[in-house]
Amino acid sequence: MEKEINTRTDKEVLDEQFYEHYAFQADPGQDPLRVDKFLMNRIENATRNKIQKAAKSGAILVNENPVKSNYRVKGGDQVRVLFTYPPYENLLTPEALSLDIVYEDNELIVVNKKAGIVVHPGYGNYSGTLINGLLHHFENLPLNSSNRPGLVHRIDKDTSGLVVVAKTDKSMVNLSKQFRDKTSTRKYIALVWGDVKDDEGTVEGHIGRHPKNRLQMTVYPEGDSGKIAITHYKIIERLGYVTLIECSLETGRTHQIRAHMKFIGHTLFNDARYGGDVILKGTTFTKYKQFVQNCFSLLPRQALHAQTLGFEHPAQKKWIDFEAPLPEDMKVTINKWRNYAQHKQF
């Protein structure tokens, strides 16, 4: 009886003092899978060690019961991850970070984000994000529909380039509508594996979460899942085993360029999440392998840069656009491929 009372008390304490950070329902066809692997596929920046520690502390519940890390998730299971602190939305704290501000006025700010900086806090990134820096720069920022201060759109952690942030509620509504209505313009520079056949083209295919790896997006060409996504591309320079391209977004889905280019067989160079961090095109020569590894070291991220951004100013009602030069890591890597291509017969 004493044991039952303690167990019930522990659960009451868990409900009272822990906060839900994540909640997932396993698909009906889910094959039995350890809960630590299940969560690693769904929570960005999660590691097995972190998840196992959470399980040991009783922070992982399946169907409202604490489970160990070796519990096997089955179809229909409700999986919740709880911690003793509130979700990051409640922990947005200003931080004095260096921001590369391209433009600023009373309505908005345009920032050239460096690669490696997360746009907004999330699991494993509760500080040092662009939002933390912006909150230090401004006293008040309007909240978007996801309660994220100032954000109109975002780019991935390891993608560099331009991001516009609203400073007023009016600008938030106006800019969000422009992005939603596809009247804004966004162009990216990307280095992709392989010799892209056509000088220009369009990739159309619904994009949604990968059914097995929830940290990846995948293309559903039949449109039976995901949301419509359209990417236009054109060749800037052919560099033998890789190609430098410009991508224009007609829609703005998560990982859109990364997923679309993988779909057509041209994964972004050194895109680890989508398999671009291995040699996908080229020879088997040792010197070539070393050359590619050197390029990976110079550019330790996916080769993607949000170079241009254009939209109508929400207050002035005039078109404005901005351009961010290629960062040094991409410039150096592209030059290495250019030099390699000049001395190689393809």
Q: Are 192 and 242 in contact (CB under 8 A)?
A: yes
Cβ count near 182 (within 10 Å): 12
What Rg, from alpha-carbon coordinates, does the chain have? 23
SS3 169: helix
Comparing C-alpha atoms, which of 160, 191, 327 is closest to residue 269? 191
Specify which residues 268 forms β-bridges with.
192
Distance from C-alpha of 214 to C-alpha of 254, rounded to nearest angstrom:
12
Q: Are 310 and 110 in contact (CB under 8 A)?
A: no
Active-site positions? 156
Residue type, 341: A
Specify which residues 73 forms β-bridges with.
33
User: Which class for 306: exposed (0-12), middle (13-18), buried (19 or more C-beta within 10 A)?
Assistant: buried
Distance from C-alpha of 63 to C-alpha of 341, rounded to nearest angstrom:
57
